[in-house]
Structure 1
Amino acid sequence: MTTTAELAAFARDVEYESLSGPVRDELKKRLLDSLGIAVGAMEAETSAVVRSTVDEYAGDGDCRLWGSGRHTSPVAAAMYNTTLVRYLDYMDSFLAPGETPHPSDNVAAVLAVAEQQGRSGAELLASLAVAYEVQGELAWNAPVRGRGWDHVTHTVVSAATAAGDARGLDTEQLRNAIGIAGTAHNALRVTRTGGINEWKGVASANAARNAVHSVVLADHGMEGPVDLFEGQKGWKEVISGPFQLDLDTGCERVLDTMTKRYVAETYAQSAVEGIVELAAGEDIDHERVEAITLQTFHGAALIIGGGEGNRHDVQTKAQADHSLPYMLSAALVDGELTRESYTPERIHREGVQRLLETVSVDEDDTLTERFEAGAMPAIVDVAVDDGTVYRVEKDAFAGHPSKPMSWDDLVAKFESMTADRYDEAHRDRIVETVRGIEDHEVADLVALLD
């Protein structure tokens, strides 16, 4: 039976030495990926909204608000810095049959606490490993999407467990922190259904903030409901239903995490890669396209294909990166899908708006079975005005766990996100520090983000 005691004991047992070479390497890749994306989001309007809010309520402290030169509390830093990691929708994802959370939602919270506590890079990796293992196990064994809860309901538990570990809480304190976080901060799925707005990209930052706040409360002596999961009207009864986690101190769930090649929702990655390849290989003129048909799996059709709201009415960035019709249309027109694909000018182009109305998304049971077996399948047909139909079929994409990105791939992605802010020498220092993080202090790394 999964309990707060089990989670707390697991976190206290994970050490840098318990992690294999491949696990350490993948954690470093996720760290670099998260930092690059965060830098790329520093000038976003929504990031500025969160920053101004944090500035209003937060005082001075030991944790950096990345890119600002300012120090604040770990709670405020978790809120703002997680917004940077998450907002562009370019972050990593854990692929489970019933849930697809983003474990990198934990990174900024753990970094903030580790920075405040003066942790080493090796200790940071151990705490990040805890976050990825807990998030992955919850997604696999206790999906909540179908019961009306948002996936950041998992994040507040994983982030509290990992941040509490980084804070150095003892087992009982950590149980209290998890109990507070998991009882008080459960998020509704309405965030990602119907009309999508900017909260979609900030909900995980709120969860990270709440997790760190719960950790600080527990460290100051606040007791929490340690029967969070199994208690009467507790998490299992109300949120998830019965489940059991299989937590492993080797923390290999990070190996099942994908990284994004395109700035697009997770379930769109294979389809977008396919249509980009098709457009280039066949030299398709988008003005001649009469219809785009996507056959996909249940989750993609439900979340970004129209099952949870109209995905053809696209006016904003938040709607665009949650719409298969928009993402496929923009990718076909531009031959790419980047940050610039979500500017108002790009979204409202007549050609893209016309094309997205031709897109149909069809759920296929066979593809759903393949997805649940570990693939991310997509079949895209593009019909043009002379009757020709071009087809591409994909089982995965560059960045899927079966086709993981190399260090070279991730460094290139990092450079694409950070070139406007840092010169080559500074970018190289960040990359080198992350790759050798066990030989550095956490403070060495975050100091490079000013």
Structure 2
Amino acid sequence: MNDLTATGAGIGRSIAATLSRLTYDDLPPDVARIVKLFTLDTLGVIGGAAKAPGMADLLAALTAWEGDGKATLLLDGRRVNPASAALANGAAAHSLDFDDQHDPARVHVFCVVLPAVLAAVEAKDGPTSGQDFITAVAAGVELFCRLGLTCYNSLGKGWHPTTALGSISAAAAAAKIFGLDAERTLHALALAFVQLSGTTQFIADGALAKRIGPGFAARSGVLAAHLAAYGLTGPWRFLEGEAGLFKLYERGEVKPEILTGGLGETWHVRDLSMKPYPCCRCVHTTIQLALELRAQGLRGEEIDSGTIELGEVNRKIVGAPFDRAHANPVVHAQFNAAYGFAAALTDGKVEIASYAPDRIRADDVAFAGRFTTIAASDIEPTAIAPARVSLRLKDGRTLIAERWTMKGAPDEPMSEEEVFAKFRACLGWGFDAPADAVLRLQKKVMALDTLEDARELVTDFLACRR
């Protein structure tokens, strides 16, 4: 356990001061480009969620209580208050489990930060330049990554760190858009902490709440920054206080020095991973192993049984036995290593259609039910990338395959063309989007630093809806 008293008071104040001073000129060129690429990816994933389970119900629930507002529900174009827009768009960004992740920190960042920034941009009077937009996103994302690294075992304790830590990060980003000074930025972060929530129980129960969690965080962050702008205050020792994040929520299992060390100069944004498959990141290496075995000629009908070995935290998240009759098949399959392996081996690909209920319940992937997932003794408990599969074949042979890296991570990145292809595929799936509108949006995002008014992103996104 770390000695929190050694850090002294005022960690949140230090963070707020640094982020409030941050300008576009402080961003290294590669960081600005990363922000643009992941903004593109997230907008694509939001569009892909147009037909995702629960999204129509969420939009109906939110609009049942309000009329026209200042911000846009991206999936249907209706205008609502900015907090509701952040909630709905954040939920859409996460609903396919196709959004980015900082693998070491185990947080999905853009699904929270980008919807919060879009809502703040629309809520604000007057235009926000593309450079200011990029700076705000970078600030929120960087804080998010650092919070995840600081609270290194949050997921292992049952928190959903994307939801829990996302509210603070979204507040930081929205505060940049609203132009808050250091003191009001501090209170925005603190007011977001007061709203902190998040649990992995929705994963265990296969509930649609899983996809709404990041929306809750985006909503809380925008609301916190808005309240702070009007002078409301929060507990300034929200991190290191006796009832702050570190002690109350994380039980002292934290590395506080990560939060402030090199903030504004050293960028953990560079360590983000983009997802090639629409499911929990803990499953991705298992999927890759299946694709490699398929390329070698293996087919599902040859398998008698199998064992998947993962790190202990991964096993807790995606190691449940595969249940074809699960009441909530989509979330269950997205968080099931055995299903991911079976779908990849059977189809030679894993895409949004792989997680349709009829596909999950099909006979040709039923062999996933003969797999057991265990914690590997030689894999670090919190390691996310490594996986090993041991297969017993019907002819008596045994096959063993393992992998220690993961596609989409900084050490095995998706190419720019792969990113663009995913963007086009998502908007095609969700909206049947016209190719010219998709290309226009793609070019607009990649030239974001030249825009005088970032609200053009919303206009061009809506043009992709038929």
- TM interval, short-chain normalised: over 0.9
Aligned match for 2:410, one of 401, 405, 415: 401
Q: CA deviation at 1:176?
A: 1.4
| Aligned counterparts of 2:391 and 2:424: Cα–Cα separation in 1 | 33
Q: TM-score, normalised by structure 1?
A: 0.92
Aligned match for 1:197, one of 207, 223, 227: 207
Q: CA deviation at 1:58?
A: 3.3
Q: CA deviation at 1:291?
A: 1.6
Superposed CA RMSD: 1.9
Look up the match of 1:261.
276
Look up the match of 1:8.
16
Q: TM-score, normalised by structure 2?
A: 0.89
| Aligned counterparts of 1:251 and 1:59: Cα–Cα separation in 2 | 43
Look up the match of 1:428.
439
Q: Give 1:449's aligned amino acid.
A: F
Gaps of 5+ in 1: none
Between 1:234-243 and 1:320-329, the stretch displaced more is 234-243
Change (3 A) 1:321 1:408: same
Look up the match of 1:448.
460
Aligned match for 1:157, one of 168, 174, 177: 168
2:315–2:375: 8 Å Cα contact kept in structure 1? yes
Q: How does 1:345-424 map to 2 (within 5 A)?
A: 345-353=358-366, 355-368=367-380, 372=383, 376-420=385-429, 421-424=432-435
Aligned match for 2:246, one of 236, 246, 262: 236
Between 1:389-398 and 1:218-227, the stretch displaced more is 389-398
Does structure 1 residue 290 correspond to structure 2 residue 297? no
Q: CA deviation at 1:311?
A: 5.0
Look up the match of 1:168.
179
Q: Give 2:442's aligned amino acid.
A: V
Does structure 1 residue 139 correspond to structure 2 residue 148? yes
**Secondary structure of the structure 2 residue equivalent to 1:382:** strand
**Secondary structure of the structure 2 residue equivalent to 1:42:** helix
1:132–1:251: 8 Å Cα contact kept in structure 2? no
Per-residue CA distance 1:222-248 (angstroms, 9 max, x = gap) = 222222122332222201225411252
Identity %: 25
Aligned match for 1:323, one of 336, 348, 351: 336
Look up the match of 1:94.
102
Aligned match for 1:217, one of 227, 246, 256: 227
Q: Give 1:275's aligned amino acid.
A: A
Q: Give 2:377's aligned amino acid.
A: D
Q: CA deviation at 1:13?
A: 2.1
Per-residue CA distance 1:396-420 (angstroms, 9 max, x = gap) = 2321110112211100111111125
Look up the match of 1:116.
123
Q: Give 1:285's aligned amino acid.
A: R
Q: CA deviation at 1:130?
A: 0.9
Q: CA deviation at 1:313?
A: 6.1
1:46–1:198: 8 Å Cα contact kept in structure 2? yes
Aligned match for 2:46, one of 38, 42, 52: 38
Look up the match of 2:36.
28
Does structure 1 residue 62 correspond to structure 2 residue 70? yes
Provide the aligned length of Structure 1 versus Structure 2: 439
**Secondary structure of the structure 2 residue equivalent to 1:94:** coil
| Aligned counterparts of 1:114 and 1:314: Cα–Cα separation in 2 | 44
Look up the match of 1:103.
109
Gaps of 5+ in 2: 1-6
Q: Give 1:286's aligned amino acid.
A: G
Q: Give 1:104's aligned amino acid.
A: F
Per-residue CA distance 1:52-111 (angstroms, 9 max, x = gap) = 111122332332211323222211110111111110000111122xx5110112211112
Q: CA deviation at 1:380?
A: 2.0
| Aligned counterparts of 1:390 and 1:230: Cα–Cα separation in 2 | 50
**Secondary structure of the structure 2 residue equivalent to 1:45:** coil
Look up the match of 1:305.
319
2:23–2:135: 8 Å Cα contact kept in structure 1? yes
Per-residue CA distance 1:291-330 (angstroms, 9 max, x = gap) = 2222222221121113xxx554662101110111221122
Q: CA deviation at 1:251?
A: 5.6
**Secondary structure of the structure 1 residue equivalent to 2:304:** strand
Change (3 A) 1:50 1:253: same
Q: Give 2:368's aligned amino acid.
A: L
| Aligned counterparts of 2:31 and 2:194: Cα–Cα separation in 1 | 31
